[in-house]
Amino acid sequence: MPASRLDVLRWQFDLTWSLFEYHLERLEPADFLWEPATHCWTVRPDADGRWTPDWADTEPDPIPVPTIGWITWHIGWWWTVAIDHAQGRTPRERTEIDWPGDGDRTTAWLRDLRIAWLAALDQLSDADLDATAPFPWQDDPVHTVAHMIAWVNAELMKNAAEVGQLRLLRKA
């Protein structure tokens, strides 16, 4: 019996997660806030102790090099919003998504998001994949839930590669 579209997307996600987990397991506390360049984006505690990301509403030129802390916040932000959409909840705003504040809590947060994403995927059937996706495209009838799942896989793979490259550069 051939694999369903959902099975293939799930397989792709599991592969991507295994590549990310390789780096998560090897991150050291100092890796998260290591600034690889003077022009970088990171996460910083505000006056209330909330860790907030550097941000600009229009992409700067040149683009700042992100820290692992910033990338892991970014993963948490887009993934939280994707899960909200997949579960039919009102998506949270970017400013509502805080970075947990250290390596162990961040790693646990990302692993919890993985579990929540898998639970959302488990609620889908192959027929659900053809529904219009509300995220990350706003009201675009061309993109489906299958596209959203494939986008999550691609975005996670890109971010995993960025985290891995920064980890390797810091070690070097």
Identify the band that residue 140 occupies on the pLDDT scale cut at 50, 70 and 90.
low
DSSP E strand boundaries for the chain: 40-41, 43-45, 51-53, 65-66
Q: Tell me: the pLDDT tens digits for 35-68?
A: 999 999 999 999 999 999 999 999 999 999 999 9
**Domains in the chain, start-ordered, CATH in brackets?**
5-25+64-171 (1.20.120)
Q: Tell me: the pLDDT tens digits for 104-118?
A: 999 999 999 999 999
Question: Which residue carries 């053809």 as its tokens?
Answer: 130
* Secondary structure of residue 49 in the 3-state scheme: coil
* Secondary structure of residue 43 in the 3-state scheme: strand
> Mapped to the 3 state alphabet, what secondary structure does 24-35 carry?
HCCCCHHHCCCC
List of residues 6+ apart from 17 with CB closer than 8 A: 114, 156
Q: Provide the pLDDT for residue 45.
A: 95
Instruction: Decide: 13 and 156 in contact? Cβ < 8 Å.
Output: yes
What's the predicted TM-score (pTM) here?
Answer: 0.94
